[in-house]
């Protein structure tokens, strides 16, 4: 059966709630009859079958993530979500000081098996509904961070996250959900997948090679993975062979898979939708430079958003988010120069 990311996540949440009575969802507008099923329809209709375990809250992000923290410590498996990833900052104390540190501070007495879900990406809403927040949370020991770019991975990583004993933050991209009806986005990409019947998981910490190639390793997640694949197709016609790696998990990061590719190609382009300053690309580049400096034929190149908030104007926003054309230009010039 072919599902969009929103449908795959909905199926995953439903299956996990049926399988395990400890699983529940908590968030804003997630189970209001006649409502949206969350900002991007992921939980649409689930309240009909799980009245007590789809918990709608007031607009209280600190309350949501605090409650998830406390319930997880008592052995429940909460799935807490925000409507837009940007609102994670409202709950930052609960996420950064409590959820990420509680197990450690207690000397391992308490575990926090909880999932946090957050939509990211600049999508015509201005700077406070746009951020790709991965770097903030990747500098936070104590949580795991995943970012599925396809429906297959969304379902597999959701199952893995719910079954994981540690806090897992899942970033989802607004343009990849495939939300339908009044919550449909403009400018979407098709990230739907054929979903097998079996109960598969995508292990947290395992990257996937989306496209094999010989000349350059391109590391990209979420929307940037799709844009990088488009760039790779374009470059193939010019005789440039790109290997596109989708980390899927950003922490733990499948460094081995990336390094193996770099050993083969000797060139690296890292693409992300966050601002370039202190970003995902900076960390991955540093890891590569530390581990395999002798394998590099060229300086590591980063393609990222400018070091500004996301602008509203469609003209500026299109400039802000790395597009396939810009990614292709950067890869092309790197391969031509070195």
Partner 1 sequence: MKHDKSISRLGAEALRGMYRRMLEIRTLEDKVRYLFLEGKMPGTIHQYVGMEACAVGVCSALKETDVIASTHRPNGHALAKGLSLESILAELYGKSSGCCKGKGGAMHLADADKGMLPAVAVVAANMPITAGVALAFKLRGEKRTAVSFFGDGASNNGAFHEALNLAAVLELPVVFVCENNHYAASTSIRRTVRIENIADRAGAYGLPGIIADGMDVLDVYEKAAAAIERARSGGGASLLELKTFRYCGHSRRDPNNYMDRAEVEEWKSRDAIPAFEKLLIEAEVLDRNGAQAIAAEVDQHVDRAIVQAQEDPEPKAQDTFSDLYVTMEVPR
The residues of the shown chain that bind partner 1, judged by CB under 8 A, are: 24, 26, 52-53, 55, 57-58, 60, 62-63, 65-76, 78, 93-94, 97-98, 102-111, 141-142, 144, 164-166, 203-206, 252, 254
Cα 159 from Cα 48, distance rounded (Å): 21
Beta-strand ranges (E) seen in the chain are 2-3, 23-27, 54-56, 77-81, 115-120, 144-146, 168-173, 193-194, 208-211, 216-220, 242-246, 249-251, 268-275, 301-305
Give the nearest distance from C-beta 310 to partner 1 in angstroms.
26
Backbone angles phi, psi at 233, to 5 degrees: -65, -45
Give the shortest CB-61-to-partner 1 separation in angstroms.
8
DSSP state of 86: G
Least distance between partner 1 and beta carbon 141 (Å): 6
Rounded least distance, CB 142 to partner 1, Å: 6
Q: Is 226 an active-site residue?
A: no
Cis amide linkage into residue 106, ω under 30° from 0: no
DSSP 8-state class, residue 98: I
8 A C-beta contact, residue 137 and residue 188: no
CB nearer to partner 1: give 118 or 310: 118
Least distance to partner 1 from the beta carbon of 138, Å? 14
User: CB-wise, 108 or 182, nearer to partner 1?
Assistant: 108
Q: Which is nearer to partner 1, 34 or 108 (CB)?
A: 108
Give the nearer residue to partner 1 in terms of CB position, either 168 or 175.
168
Q: Are 147 and 223 in contact (CB under 8 A)?
A: no
Give SS3 for 301: strand
Which residues sit opposite 305 in a β-bridge?
A: 275
- Type and span of the H or E element at 62: helix 61-73
Closer to partner 1 by Cβ: residue 63 or 124: 63
- Catalytic positions: 129
């Amino acid at each position: 059966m072919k599902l969009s990311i929103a449908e795959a996540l909905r199926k995953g949440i439903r299956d996990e709630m049926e399988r395990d009575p400890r699983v529940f969802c908590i968030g804003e507008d997630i189970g209001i009859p006649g409502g949206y099923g969350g900002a991007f329809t992921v939980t649409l209709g689930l309240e009909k079958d799980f009245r007590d375990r789809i918990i709608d809250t007031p607009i209280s992000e600190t309350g949501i993530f605090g409650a998830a923290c406390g319930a997880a410590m008592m052995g429940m498996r909460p799935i807490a979500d925000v409507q837009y990833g940007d609102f994670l900052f409202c709950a930052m104390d609960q996420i950064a000081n409590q959820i990420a540190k509680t197990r450690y501070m207690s000397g391992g007495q308490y575990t926090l098996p909880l999932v946090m879900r957050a939509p990211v990406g600049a999508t015509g809403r201005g700077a406070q509904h746009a951020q790709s927040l991965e770097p903030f949370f990747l500098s936070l020991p104590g949580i795991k961070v995943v970012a599925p770019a396809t429906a297959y991975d969304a379902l597999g990583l959701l199952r893995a996250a719910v079954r994981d004993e540690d806090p897992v933050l899942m970033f989802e991209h607004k343009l990849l959900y495939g939300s339908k009806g009044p919550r449909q986005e403009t400018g979407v990409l098709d990230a739907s997948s054929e979903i097998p019947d079996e109960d598969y998981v995508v292990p947290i910490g395992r990257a996937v090679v989306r496209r094999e190639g010989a000349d350059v390793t391109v590391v990209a997640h979420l929307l940037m993975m799709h844009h990088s694949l488009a760039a790779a197709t374009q470059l193939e016609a010019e005789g440039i062979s790109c290997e596109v790696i989708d980390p899927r998990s950003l922490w733990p990061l499948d460094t081995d898979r990336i390094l193996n590719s770099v050993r083969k190609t000797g060139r690296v382009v890292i693409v992300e939708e966050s601002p370039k300053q202190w970003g995902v690309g900076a960390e991955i580049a540093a890891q590569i430079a530390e581990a395999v400096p002798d394998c590099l034929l060229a300086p590591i190149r980063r393609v990222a958003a400018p070091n500004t908030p996301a602008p509203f104007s469609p003209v500026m926003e299109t400039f802000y988010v790395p597009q396939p054309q810009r990614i292709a230009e950067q890869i092309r010039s790197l391969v031509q120069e070195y």
